[in-house]
Each structure stands twice: as structure tokens, then as C-alpha cells.
Amino acid sequence: MTELRPLPTPDPQTFLLPARAYLLSMRDQNLPMRRAALDDAEAHYREAPQGTDHEEQIARIALVALVGEALQILEDLAAFGDSFTSAPEGTAFFAALTNYSSHRISNFYAQMRKRPLDYYLDLLGLRRGALRLEEAFVIEPPFSDEELIAIEEAHRATAALVRKHLINLAEEWRKYRPFSNAYRHGLLVANAGDVTLVDDSGVEVEGIVVWMRRRVSAEGYGHIAPPYDRMADYLAAAGRTALDVLEHLVDSRLRIFESIELRADGSWTVKPLKTLPWRWWFDKKDVSEGSLELLSARFNMTFE
């Protein structure tokens, strides 16, 4: 049996229905498209011949394109995550996503290490302030104290894993953002036989370099050193991690809608919970064996 506790609920027509539609479009359109684009960019780099100087230049451009595709996913992830806290009161998160700022993504990632674990619990939709999601419904039979402790343990382990991924992705954003900007806003290719790059001490620099913008003279801003295959592996893995995190955030938010039946006219009713109203994602070592056994028994589930 499931009943909604007497809590204020956002207006269905102006918030709930559009929010669900946006989340479904993220799940069914945006995420598959980004995965395909990342796979295509990686394949294009792998297939690029690297024999002559000209071919090696093409391979370098293909690597920068891979940077662009991978970091586009990081940008999508940051914009989505930021929208839940940057939306003004009374404004839906999907409206906040339309607010463009050149510093928004960098500011989001710069704060990851400083954020408390409670921030990630809110980001995942596992709680809203002091209210835990499981407290929003009357569930029969009620959870025991031990089950509530186990649920909280799984919640916090999930938040800890997402926090770890976002902190790692923040470093990738910091390092490779210049190359993503160069790919999207114009890329100047210099033949290595015609141009020699040197650092401040006059030592020749081997690799891919982009320039700092709006400077009187050329100034190196970012550098990718060979071997490039290793970097391609690294970038593709970072992009797929970002996709996994974004997919998890979207799925976590969508599960909230599984507890209510929304109609096209905006009316809604509570429906019995047939699946968990949350999605856990954690390293097994971060949840005790006793808690895993309790959760498995209560929800008739196994942990992969």
C-alpha cells in the first residue's frame, strides 16, 4: 500500500508533466546520441592513418575532436546538475537549463570537492533538505529501524560514489577545456615541419598546443603530449563515466514519477510502488554485509 503524505506538490501542468517529458527526452534521445557521437569520434581517431606528417596532423585533429565530444558530455552533466540548485524559487530546473553562462560549467566543477555529502543526496533526489524520499510516502508494512539505517547507508554510499566520479571529472574538465573550446570555436593547424614550439626556457615542445585567447602575442594555454593513443583511451573513458553519472541522475529523478500517475489534463493519483523509488549505485565495500542482506530481503533484490 502506498499513500502520499500531506506534502506540498508542484503544479502538474506547469512543472510535473514538463519535467517528466524533459527527463524522458534526456534518457531516450540525448544520452543515446551522446554515446553514439563519442563512439564515432573514438573510432575516427583509431582509424586515422599515422604514417606521413600530413596523416599525423589529421590524427591530431581527430584526437581534438574526441576531446570535444567527451567534454560536451561533461558540459551536459554539469548543466543538468547545476540546474537543480541554480533555478530561482518557483522556477523549474528545466527552465534554469536555458540560462547560459560562460562560467557556469567551470564553477560547477570547481565546487565539487567543497560540497558536503548532503548536497549529493539532494542532487540524486534521495532527499530534499531534511526530508528523505522514503518519508514522503506511507509504505506498508512500515520500514523497521534497521531497514531505515540500511537504506540510509545505501543512499550515502551512492552519493559518495557520484561525488568521487564528479571530482575526477572536474579535473578532466580543467585540463582539457581549452582543447574543447579550440575544436568548437576554430582550430588552427600548424605543420610541425614549419613551426617549432618552445617553452619559456627555450626547450622544444612536442605535442598539441592551443593558444590563450585575446593576447597581444601567441601564448600557449594547453598541451597534450604523446603518446596519443593513451590519451584517447583516457578521454573516451572519462566521457563514458560522465555518461554513466548523467544517466544515473536522470534515472533517479524519473523514478520519483513512478509513484504517481500523471494524466494529460494535469490530474494525478498516487499508485502503489512496484519498484524502488530510488536507484542505488555504489561500491559493495561501502555498504556493510548486514545492510545488504536486510535490503535484499526487504526488496527481493540482488546486488550486482
For 6-55, what is each residue's pLDDT tens digit?
A: 445 666 666 778 888 899 999 999 999 999 999 999 999 999 887 777 77
294 in a domain, yes or no? yes
Is residue 158 scored above 70 in pLDDT?
yes
CB hemisphere CA count around 165 (13 angstroms) = 25
Mean per-residue pLDDT of the chain: 84
284 in a domain, yes or no? yes
Instruction: List Cβ neighbours of 112 (8 Å cut-off, separation of 6 or more).
Output: 163, 166, 167, 170
107 in a domain, yes or no? yes
Nine-digit cell string for 169: 571529472
pLDDT tens per residue across span 51-73: 777 777 888 889 989 999 999 99
Helices (H) and strands (E) in the chain, counts: 9, 8
pLDDT tens per residue across span 229-284: 998 999 999 999 999 999 999 998 888 777 777 777 767 776 666 667 788 999 98
Residue 35 belongs to what domain range? 2-183+232-299
Number of other CB atoms surrounding residue 129 within 10 Å? 8
pLDDT attached to residue 130: 73
Is residue 90 scored above 50 in pLDDT?
yes
Return the higher-pLDDT residue of 234 and 102: 234
pLDDT attached to residue 31: 97
Q: Tell me which residue of 251, 260, 265 sits closest to 4, measured CA to CA.
A: 260
State how far the Cα of 277 lies from the Cα of 271, in Å rounded to an integer. Answer: 12
242 in a domain, yes or no? yes
What value does the mean pLDDT take over residues 82-90?
Answer: 82
DSSP state of 227: P
pLDDT attached to residue 262: 73
22 in a domain, yes or no? yes
pLDDT attached to residue 303: 84
pLDDT attached to residue 6: 46
Give the 3-state secondary structure of residue 204. Answer: strand
What value does the mean pLDDT take over residues 166-170?
Answer: 97
Looking at the structure of the chain, the number of domains it has is 1
pLDDT attached to residue 124: 92
**Pairing mode, if any, of strands 208-211 and 137-139?**
unpaired
Handedness of CA 233, 234, 236, 237 (dihedral sign): positive
pLDDT attached to residue 138: 66
36 in a domain, yes or no? yes
pTM score of the predicted model = 0.85
238 in a domain, yes or no? yes
Nine-digit cell string for 151: 537504506
Across the chain, the runs of DSSP E, i.e. the strands, are 2-4, 127-128, 131-132, 137-139, 208-211, 220-224, 260-262, 268-270
pLDDT attached to residue 80: 94
pLDDT tens per residue across span 111-151: 999 999 999 999 998 887 777 777 766 677 788 899 989 99
304 in a domain, yes or no? no
- Cα 13 to its chain centre, rounded Å, is 27
